[in-house]
Chain A
Amino acid sequence: MNVLPTPVLLAVDWWALGAVLALSAGILLLLLLEFFPAQARSNRSAIVALLTLAAAGWSVFHVRDAKREIFGGMFVHDGFTVFFTLLFCAAGALAVLLSWDYVKRTRINQAEYYALLLSATAGMIIMAASNDLITIFLGLELMSLALYVLVGFQRHHLESNEAALKYFLLGAFASGFLLYGIALLYGATGTTGLGQMAAVMIDSPMLGNPLFLLGGLLLIIGFGFKVSAVPFHMWTPDAYEGAPTSITAFMSVGAKAAGFAALLRVLMRAMGDVQADWIPILSGLAILTMTVGNITALLQNNLKRMLAYSSIAHAGYVLIAVVAGGRDGAASALFYLAIYAVMNLGAFGVLTLLGREREERVLISDLAGLGFRHPALGIALTLFMISLGGIPPTAGFMAKVYVFSAALNAGLVPLVIIGVLNSVVAIFYYLRVTVALYMEEPQGEPVYVSWATPGVIALIASVVLTLWWGIQANGLLAAAQRSVLGLL
């Protein structure tokens, strides 16, 4: 009889796994509660989802300074994990608040909707916390499967169906690329663990090894799809347009941040030695992503599509931070993602309020005159647009400043020049929204605003954070810098 592996269960620090456990419990609770029928306009599911996210965030915040590697180093609890877990829980909570009235208005089945939203959040957390390619892939699938369904949730909507199908088919394809990449990396190094991979590379350098290079390339393609980097962005506008607006808000922020979290951990933990191989690839991706995203956004008339292309462009800016690398680059990427989350959720949040019942009023022309009829909403949307465009004194400006300065310190002058030029182009289409808000006459029936308290709370939170981080960004930046220490 051979020696049996010792059970690892006892060695697990359950607090470190608290967020994932809380979310799993929340999913089950939501589904089980459906045995007790509720009224059609009941808030039960939304409240459960919100409490679950709060519990998940609290459980990880409670042990924020601890550093643990559990399950043989597959799941890591460190500053990086804490940062992203809190980010995902906050984004999830804002998305729940934005969904609160929207799902009732558009008659979406609530329990399954919130259960899937929590599953996607759990998947994102697993992606960010994974120190092993296997768990990264599983987290990615958990997140993606939930999002595919959420995008197609409005089955009676033709666009929603189309969006879900496109997202699913292309997403499955990208998952195939990712898996192939993982298999090749395993073939080259003999391990899927990121730490072990780095250890193997000390003994046998992998720089220029075709098998390793191909594996890494396929991995980048897989992640590039999830963060919608050009040329893997084809699904983004359609999926964003067809999805329920509250889901567009959530996935534009969460899926992107999760993709970058996993990419950052893989690049910094396992591929530091082969930096020379991936820097040109990612630089090219960054340039393409920014330029194509911004220029195509100029041509859009639908706000959801415009914001989709804008989110592609923002992925390009984050890629600059990833290329810059090191402590500063990684910290500025985290900083950017947190700020992007707040302002983008806010921008989509305004859109969730527009229209009555199932009506979608998301054309730029629908906004005409809205700034005067609903001044608060107009000001909020203007603020988010200014912030997305990167104009002071908003958080978006600070985010861009730190990314560009990290890149300058790393000597990436051409990338920064292209990035700044792109920001200038971007201001044009963000201001177009403001022009519509204040300087155009509404044609046809003016857009109806479905006010809802939870949505307004989410918008107020986004506005406050966008302004606060625009003025006082030091706290967030310091948190980001502390978080990446464990990676290097």
Chain B
Amino acid sequence: MTEALFIGFAAMLVASSLLVILHRNPVASALFLVLAFCSLAGIYLLFHAEFIGMVQIIVYAGAIMVLFLFVIMYLNLQRDEEGGVHIALRRGLGWVAGTVVLAEGVFMLARRWAPGPLTPEVPGEAAGNTQQLGMLLFSRYLFPFEVTSLVLLVAIIGVVVIAKGRSTAGSGTRPAPGEDG
């Protein structure tokens, strides 16, 4: 059963990934990418990594791809109309990068480089995978977790600074609350 599901998800992943790069309509490509992320989430679920599976759907398939789609539609890219040197160069770079990653994967599988982390045991059989992650996040990884919140705060400030309306750009400090809507 698990094996059949895995083969199904994996096939869907490969097929949709190929369609992402082969389809000529950017919007369709982005939607196939969503499908690829969902298939990947399915594979994570099969490996009992429920939390990563859910995050994969919420963050990647949800938030990030919606942003992608927004940008694509905003730029009104209908069709891949570029040609000539530019596209050839980009294709070439893509091939190089892909080959490098593939070679790396094959190399690592062949040499079985895994002294520590790749243990075959199923994580979190006793407690749920999400619970274990939560425990780790709030104990051993508490500090990085808190620093991440600081990073997000900076990101918010940055967005406010960059996206704030032009009307306030000239004044030394912020106007009174409510003045700029």
Interface residues of A (CB under 8 A from B): 1-2, 4-9, 24, 27, 31, 34-35, 37-42, 45, 70-72, 74-75, 104, 107-112, 115-116, 119, 122, 126, 132, 134-135, 138-139, 141-142, 145-146, 148-149, 152-153, 155-156, 186-191, 200, 204, 211
- How many residues in B have their beta carbons less than 8 Å from beta carbons of A? 39
Whether A111 and B173, one on each chain, are in contact in the complex, defined by CB atoms closer than 8 angstroms, is: yes
Q: Which of A41, A108, A109, A132: most chain B CB closer than 10 A?
A: A109
Which one of B135, B140, B153, B175 contacts A27 once the chains associate, using CB atoms below 8 Å? B153
Q: How far is the CB of B142 from chain A (nearest CB, A)?
A: 6
Q: Across the two chains, which residue of chain A brings its CB closest to B116?
A: A190
B177 within 8 A of partner (CB): yes
CB-contacts of B148-181 with A (<8 A): 148, 150-151, 153-155, 157-158, 160-162, 164, 168-177
Whether B155 and A145, one on each chain, are in contact in the complex, defined by CB atoms closer than 8 angstroms, is: yes
Whether B147 and A135, one on each chain, are in contact in the complex, defined by CB atoms closer than 8 angstroms, is: yes
Whether B150 and A122, one on each chain, are in contact in the complex, defined by CB atoms closer than 8 angstroms, is: yes
Interface residues of B (CB under 8 A from A): 108, 113-117, 126-127, 135-136, 139-144, 147-148, 150-151, 153-155, 157-158, 160-162, 164, 168-177
Q: Across the two chains, which residue of chain B brings its CB closest to A155?
A: B169
Which one of B115, B135, B154, B177 contacts A119 once the chains associate, using CB atoms below 8 Å? B154
Set of chain A residues within 8 Å of B173, measured between Cβ atoms: 34, 37-40, 42, 45, 109-111
Q: Across the two chains, which residue of chain A brings its CB closest to B115?
A: A190
Q: Across the two chains, which residue of chain B brings its CB closest to A113?
A: B161
Whether B177 and A107, one on each chain, are in contact in the complex, defined by CB atoms closer than 8 angstroms, is: no
Subset of 14 A-B contacts with CB under 8 Å: A1-B127, A8-B142, A9-B142, A75-B143, A116-B157, A126-B147, A132-B144, A138-B144, A145-B158, A149-B154, A149-B157, A149-B158, A187-B117, A211-B113
Q: How far is the CB of A306 from chain B (nearest CB, A)?
A: 29
Which one of A27, A146, A204 contacts B115 once the chains associate, using CB atoms below 8 Å? A204
Whether A189 and B116, one on each chain, are in contact in the complex, defined by CB atoms closer than 8 angstroms, is: yes
Q: Across the two chains, which residue of chain B brings its CB closest to A2?
A: B126
* A37-B113 contact given A74-B144, A155-B169, CB 8 Å threshold: no
Set of chain A residues within 8 Å of B158, measured between Cβ atoms: 116, 145-146, 148-149
Whether B172 and A71, one on each chain, are in contact in the complex, defined by CB atoms closer than 8 angstroms, is: no
- Tell me, in angstroms, the Cα distance from A183 to B162 when the chains sit together: 32
Whether A138 and B147, one on each chain, are in contact in the complex, defined by CB atoms closer than 8 angstroms, is: yes
Q: Which of B113, B127, B171: most chain A CB closer than 10 A?
A: B113
Set of chain A residues within 8 Å of B154, measured between Cβ atoms: 116, 119, 142, 145-146, 149
- Tell me, in angstroms, the Cα distance from A20 to B115 when the chains sit together: 35
Q: How far is the CB of A132 from chain B (nearest CB, A)?
A: 8
Whether A71 and B142, one on each chain, are in contact in the complex, defined by CB atoms closer than 8 angstroms, is: yes
Set of chain A residues within 8 Å of B177, measured between Cβ atoms: 35, 37
* A135-B150 contact given A187-B113, A188-B113, A189-B115, CB 8 Å threshold: no
Whether A141 and B151, one on each chain, are in contact in the complex, defined by CB atoms closer than 8 angstroms, is: yes
Question: What are the 6 A-B residue pairs with the smallest beta carbon separation, nearest first?
Answer: A190-B116, A40-B172, A149-B158, A71-B143, A138-B147, A5-B139
Set of chain A residues within 8 Å of B161, measured between Cβ atoms: 109, 112, 116, 149, 153
Whether B143 and A74, one on each chain, are in contact in the complex, defined by CB atoms closer than 8 angstroms, is: yes
Whether B143 and A110, one on each chain, are in contact in the complex, defined by CB atoms closer than 8 angstroms, is: no
Set of chain B residues within 8 Å of A37, measured between Cβ atoms: 173-177
Set of chain B residues within 8 Å of A104, measured between Cβ atoms: 172
* A7-B139 contact given A119-B150, A211-B113, CB 8 Å threshold: yes
- Tell me, in angstroms, the Cα distance from A189 to B169 when the chains sit together: 50
Set of chain B residues within 8 Å of A75, measured between Cβ atoms: 143
Q: Which of B115, B148, B157, B164: most chain A CB closer than 10 A?
A: B157
Q: How far is the CB of A133 from chain B (nearest CB, A)?
A: 10
- Tell me, in angstroms, the Cα distance from A37 to B177 when the chains sit together: 8
Whether B139 and A6, one on each chain, are in contact in the complex, defined by CB atoms closer than 8 angstroms, is: yes
- Tell me, in angstroms, the Cα distance from A326 to B133 when the chains sit together: 39
Whether B148 and A138, one on each chain, are in contact in the complex, defined by CB atoms closer than 8 angstroms, is: yes
Set of chain B residues within 8 Å of A71, measured between Cβ atoms: 140, 142-143
Which one of A5, A156, A188 contacts B169 once the chains associate, using CB atoms below 8 Å? A156
- Tell me, in angstroms, the Cα distance from A74 to B139 when the chains sit together: 12
Set of chain B residues within 8 Å of A41, measured between Cβ atoms: 172
Which one of B135, B144, B155, B157 contacts A112 once the chains associate, using CB atoms below 8 Å? B157
